[in-house]
Structure 1
Amino acid sequence: MEDIAALIGSARATLYYHFSGRDDLVAFLLEEHLRVAANTIALAVTTTQSPAAQLRSAITALVGFLGGQPGVCAGMLSFAGATGRLGTLMAAKDANLTEPLRKLLDQGAATHHFTINDSRDAANAILGAALIATLTRWEDGRATQDPEFQQALTDQLVRSVARA
């Protein structure tokens, strides 16, 4: 907590006023990270577009968000697993990211733009694929913000649910 306080230019006591300890602070940061990701996606989606165009916009925003901070994503996942907060992380992920994608997928399925069996499974597959592809590229030392990579990943994820 002392290092964090120094990093943000605050007294350690101030951090303890708001957070019970390191785990509480990191849990807050994790939820904030998911909230920002959800806002990034929401801002990218325009309801005047077709469900397919909305999904493409949402995935493009997601891939860009993940590519912009893969180390934070990896660290947050590691923290959640190590502290037994994976369930909390998954619940926050469902509320902030899965639900909006599910709505788009359900709309697209209803209008015959997408072919899916279960929108929750499809949304989680999209989220998981985007995260794993980005983290693997980052771990390999390759650019996660490379426009060609992000475009190819977005295209692949959209094709995974598009009606042929």
Structure 2
Amino acid sequence: GAIPMREVPSAMADALHAAADDLLDRFDDLQMHDIAAAAGVARSSLYYYFTNKDDVLAYLLRAMLDDLTASTAAAAVGPGSPSTRLGAVIRAQLEHLDEHPAASQLLIANLGRAGKLPDIAASVNEGFEGPVRRLLAEGADDGSLRRLPDDDIGATALFGAVLVIGLRCLVVEGHIDVDRVMQMIGPMFWGGIAPTDGPPSVSG
């Protein structure tokens, strides 16, 4: 859908954000009048700011990604070494997924549609991949992290891994035990999967 040209008033924005998890949990079945009722706003008001429900979906996903950007940005500039802060950024993403389960699953399910919205793609980049790229480069410069051939691919790989791990937890367990997941994935991310006495040969 088209990006809304009008700025959504704060009262409507608050109402939509408050109803977001409920709306996103059953979004495919909703009509605009359902969204208006759930958010407690007049349908005519909703149509004034949004052309259709895809516009509402994009708006809610943008709001979720804005929250992610704020939390990961804070983690990226926090205390500690680049690897410590990288761990904090990954933790922030997992916590964000856990706090927004319906939005997270809907974003993943609609990546094709959302990916056609340049600002959504830019928000994903700004919210996670950008801070991770900077930390990978910073860690390589000070020797605390191994230099990668391509920090862009490295950041995307970490983003994808954390996203899918978080999604699996939400689908299978209904929530994300962030501490347990960090204990499991931390050593794998930092140490890799090769045996400690050296990497095995890989052919093909």
Using the alignment, how far apart are the partners of 1:130 and 1:139 within structure 2?
14
* Alignment partner, residue 109 of structure 1: 140
Q: Does 1:74 align with 2:131?
A: no
**Contact in 2 for aligned 1:66/1:73 (Cα 8 Å):** yes
Using the alignment, how far apart are the partners of 1:143 and 1:26 within structure 2?
22
Q: Does 1:130 align with 2:156?
A: no
**Contact in 1 for aligned 2:95/2:178 (Cα 8 Å):** no
* Alignment partner, residue 131 of structure 2: 100
Question: TM-score under structure 1 normalisation?
Answer: 0.84
**What's the offset of the Cα at 1:85?**
3.2
Using the alignment, how far apart are the partners of 1:85 and 1:45 within structure 2?
25
Question: TM-score under structure 2 normalisation?
Answer: 0.69
**What's the offset of the Cα at 1:155?**
4.3
Change (3 A) 1:45 1:96: closer
Using the alignment, how far apart are the partners of 1:159 and 1:3 within structure 2?
49
**Identical columns (%):** 27
CA displacement, residues 73-103 of structure 1 (integer Å, 9 cap, x when unaligned) = 111222343xx33243433311332111111
Paired letter, 1:98: E
**What's the offset of the Cα at 1:133?**
0.8
Q: Secondary structure at the match of 1:85?
A: helix
Q: Does 1:11 align with 2:42?
A: yes
Greater relative CO (CA pairs within 8 A, separation 6+): 1
Rg comparison, structure with higher value: 2
Using the alignment, how far apart are the partners of 2:101 and 2:187 within structure 1?
20
**Contact in 1 for aligned 2:91/2:178 (Cα 8 Å):** no
1:32-47 matches, within 5 Å, as 32-47=63-78
* Alignment partner, residue 57 of structure 1: 88
Q: Secondary structure at the match of 2:46?
A: helix
CA displacement, residues 48-92 of structure 1 (integer Å, 9 cap, x when unaligned) = 4211111111111112112333332111222343xx332434333
Using the alignment, how far apart are the partners of 2:155 and 2:124 within structure 1?
11
Structure 2 spans left out of the alignment, 5+ residues: 1-31, 197-204
Moved more, 151-160 or 113-122: 151-160
Using the alignment, how far apart are the partners of 1:94 and 1:86 within structure 2?
11
Paired letter, 1:99: G
Using the alignment, how far apart are the partners of 2:109 and 2:42 within structure 1?
27
Aligned residues: 159
**Contact in 2 for aligned 1:68/1:144 (Cα 8 Å):** no
**Contact in 1 for aligned 2:87/2:186 (Cα 8 Å):** yes
Structure 1 spans left out of the alignment, 5+ residues: none
